[in-house]
Amino acid sequence: MTVLRTRIKELRARYDITQEELAEKVGVTRQTMLYLEKGKYNPSLLLAHRVARILQSTIEEVFIIEEDM
């Protein structure tokens, strides 16, 4: 099984950005951002890129794919 884990909450804290602010900057609702943070929503490539850019990180630094082997 493949699981998507994120570092969004950690990176938001580093840059002192609220969920609401980040959601507004990337063009989604706060609810969507909450689901992203909890790994309950798989973002499109465009959304992942926008989140990573605002958090001054690469997509790979923000979104971690974990696979059971």
The yes-or-no verdict on residue 65 having pLDDT over 80 is yes
Q: How many domains, the chain?
A: 1
End-to-end CA distance of the chain: 8
Do residues 33 and 22 make contact, with C-beta atoms less than 8 angstroms apart?
yes
Exposed/middle/buried for residue 55 (C-beta within 10 Å: 0-12, 13-18, 19+): buried
The CATH code of the domain that includes 37 is 1.10.260.40
pLDDT digits (tens, 9 = 90+) for 3-62: 889 999 999 999 999 999 999 999 999 999 999 999 899 999 999 999 999 999 999 999
Do residues 18 and 12 make contact, with C-beta atoms less than 8 angstroms apart?
yes
Tokens read off for 23: 């959601």
pTM exceeds 0.75, yes or no: yes
Domain hosting residue 46, numbered range: 2-67
